[in-house]
């Protein structure tokens, strides 16, 4: 399972970011060979840092958070969001001029499948690119999250207003600009990890991990 671990900072979120990068190997060893840290991201206008992790079970995730991650003294609180049934999309190589956003949807329960399928299969214009979509169910109503790359924030706003908000069952949309992302794994590392644990992901892992590699797609 891929999980988003969102860490709220006591002071400056940059300190959490730097601590994780400085102690990356030590933190990775805390997963005891049963998980893999994937990447870090920062939301603009928020005092938190998000760490995306793949684990083989929730027990190892709990141990990782409670025994290892909390050693970072700048962390005030932690919020865990599971990405359920994630779909990752191939991105163009040259995305240095595109901004990345995450969109969280409040949805009526009876419309979950309809909305998920509609957004996952949406034909987007060239100035908008889908990065991923997943169920989250992390709050009452907040049940679907997806990420888009956009050349212009105004263009994204029009798409949300004219398309997403008009889907039956969508009650509210929350849009966050991602100001920076840092990959923590290479494709070769993922292949070795998934082979050791005989994982059969429900997504195309080559396309997924290619987006976690160092590239302009992850620099705001």
pLDDT tens-digit map of 51-96: 999 898 889 999 999 999 999 999 999 999 999 998 888 766 667 7
Highest mean pLDDT: which of 26-35, 88-97, 111-120, 177-186? 111-120
Is the confidence at residue 133, as pLDDT, over 90?
Answer: yes
Taking the C-alpha atoms of residue 196 and residue 185, their distance in angstroms, rounded to an integer, is: 16
88 neighbors 132 (Cβ within 8 angstroms): yes
Greater pLDDT, 117 or 86: 117
Q: Give the residue range(s) of CATH 3.30.70.920 domains in the chain.
A: 2-84+181-218, 86-179
CB atoms within 10 A of CB 57: 10
Q: How large is the greatest C-alpha to C-alpha distance in the chain, in angstroms?
A: 46
176-190 pLDDT per residue, tens: 999 988 888 776 776
d(CA 72, CA 79): 15
Q: In the predicted model, what is the mean pLDDT of the chain?
A: 85
DSSP code at position 25:
H
pLDDT at 139: 86
CA distances from 93 to 36, 132, 146, 164 (A): 24, 16, 20, 26
Task: Output the six-digit token pair for 123.
Answer: 């034909």
Give the CA dihedral 10, 11, 12, 13, nearest 10 degrees: 10
Model-level pTM?
A: 0.82
Q: Output the CATH code of domain 2-84+181-218.
A: 3.30.70.920
CB 134 within 8 A of CB 85: yes
Measured in whole angstroms, the distance separating CA 29 from the mean position of its chain's CA atoms is 22
Residue that wins the pLDDT comparison between 32 and 205? 32
CATH of domain 86-179: 3.30.70.920
Question: What is the sign, positive or negative, of the torsion defined by CA atoms of 34, 82, 76, 102?
Answer: positive
Provide mean pLDDT across the span 153-175.
96
Q: Tell which residue, 130, 94, 100, has the closest CA to residue 39.
A: 100
The mean per-residue pLDDT over the stretch 18-33 comes to: 93
String of DSSP letters for 3-54:
EEEEEEESS-HHHHHHHHHHTHHHHHHTTTTSEEEEEEEEETT-SEEEEEEE
pLDDT digits (tens, 9 = 90+) for 194-219: 666 555 444 455 555 555 544 433 34
């Amino acid at each position: 399972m891929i999980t988003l671990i969102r860490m709220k900072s006591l002071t400056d979120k940059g300190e959490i970011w730097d601590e994780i990068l400085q102690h990356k190997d030590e933190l990775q060893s805390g997963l005891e060979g049963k998980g893999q840290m994937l990447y870090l991201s920062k939301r603009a206008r928020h005092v938190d840092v998000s760490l995306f992790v793949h684990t083989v079970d929730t027990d190892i995730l709990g141990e990782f958070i409670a025994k290892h991650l909390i050693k970072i003294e700048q962390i005030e609180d932690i919020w865990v969001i599971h990405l359920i049934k994630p779909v990752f999309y191939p991105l163009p190589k040259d995305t240095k001029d595109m901004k990345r956003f995450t969109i969280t949807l409040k949805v009526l329960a009876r419309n979950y499948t309809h909305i998920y399928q509609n957004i996952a299969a949406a034909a987007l214009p060239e100035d908008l690119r889908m990065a991923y979509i997943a169920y989250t169910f992390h709050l009452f109503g907040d049940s679907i999250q997806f990420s888009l790359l956009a050349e212009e924030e105004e263009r994204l706003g029009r798409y949300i207003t004219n398309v997403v908000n008009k889907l039956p069952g969508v009650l509210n949309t929350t849009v966050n600009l991602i100001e920076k992302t840092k990959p923590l794994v290479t494709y070769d590392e993922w292949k070795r990890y998934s082979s050791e644990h005989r994982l059969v992901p429900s997504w195309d892992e080559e396309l997924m991990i290619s987006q976690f590699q160092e590239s302009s797609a992850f620099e705001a």
